[in-house]
Amino acid sequence: MTTVYAVYSESGGVGKTTTAISLAMAFALAGKETLLIDLDPRGASTDWFGIEPKEKGLHVGAILGNDDVDGWAEQLAVPSGWHEKLRVIPSDRSLSNREKDNSQGLELRLKESLQGVEADVVIIDCPNRQGGPLTLSALYAANAVIYAASPTQDGLKGVEGGRRSVAEFRRLRERQGANVTIEEAGIVLGNVGDTVMTRVAKEVIDQLRETDMLLTPIVPARVIVQESRMSGQWYGNYRKGEPVLTAYKEIAEKVAR
């Protein structure tokens, strides 16, 4: 059975893409067939992997732009180039056009495209937006939501907004008489300094702990992560990246269903 995780925050710059990619690699390294779907029009995951669609136009937007999409995820997935068990469905800037698309049933197409996908785990790198067709597509497709956060006010607000949106989605589905199965898997807190910590960072961490959803370990800040992202490399290839990868591996084990 395939488990689908939506990695979500309603704030940008809080480590959402780093969390999505790191968890995807952690699952792949654990021997699970893993698919990462870049559902963000900015294409941050796509850029980090340095990948292209199999053919022009065969990115995730093709799924949302068509009606009969059963099995398309398997067809559009391309090798990540980082690990043999990790594949990716790339994004494209044109995906933002789907935010204005009112086509009936659009929000169900991503879920339908996953029919028959050859993956144990699917990770969706969501856009940092409240509601809308893209976010709804991720929530309809997902079994669980993982919130990404940084030790900043934006990180906290992103989680709070994300949780409200998920709660609203659940209420909508319940009013429709649907069996709501999507769960909140927890909050991943990354880029945390393990030496000197600001007052704001301490307050944010305390508030995230109060939710009883903060997953441990907290992911430490390491410069190698951003350096690797800029160069399109996997930070896990470097000794300085080991503490970050180790943290994500432990988190992946805890959220595994």
pLDDT digits (tens, 9 = 90+) for 177-201: 888 889 999 999 999 998 878 899 9
pLDDT in tens, 8-64: 999 999 999 999 999 999 999 999 999 999 999 999 999 999 999 999 999 999 999
- How wide is the angle at C-alpha 100 spanned by C-alphas 77 and 136, nearest 5°? 55
Side chain identity at residue 80, one-letter code: S
| Res 68 pLDDT > 80 | yes
Using alpha carbons, select from 222, 20, 189, 217 the residue that is nearest to residue 121: 20
| Res 86 pLDDT > 80 | yes
For residue 132, give Cα distances in angstroms to 57, 67, 101, 136, 251. Answer: 22, 18, 9, 6, 29
Average confidence (pLDDT) over 239-250: 98
Average confidence (pLDDT) over 100-122: 93
b/e map of 111-123 (b: 16 or more CB within 10 Å)? bbbbeebebbbbb
SS3 at position 160: helix
User: What's 122's domain CATH number?
Assistant: 3.40.50.300
Q: What is the pLDDT of residue 5?
A: 98
Share of the chain above pLDDT 90, in %: 88
Q: Is residue 140 within 8 Å of 110, Cβ to Cβ?
A: yes
| Res 103 pLDDT > 90 | no
Q: Is residue 221 within 8 Å of 192, Cβ to Cβ?
A: yes
Is residue 231 very low, low, confident or very high in pLDDT (cuts 50, 70, 90)? Answer: very high
| Res 233 pLDDT > 90 | yes
Average confidence (pLDDT) over 66-74: 95
Number of folded domains in the chain? 1
The answer, yes or no, to whether the previous bond of 90 is cis (omega within 30 of 0) is no
Q: Which of 89-98, 159-168, 193-202 has the highest mean pLDDT?
A: 159-168
| Res 257 pLDDT > 80 | no
Q: Work out the angle between the directed axes of helices 16-29 and 242-255 (0-180°, nearest 10).
A: 80
Q: What is the pLDDT of residue 179?
A: 83
Average confidence (pLDDT) over 210-231: 97
**Whole domain around residue 34: which residue ranges?**
3-255
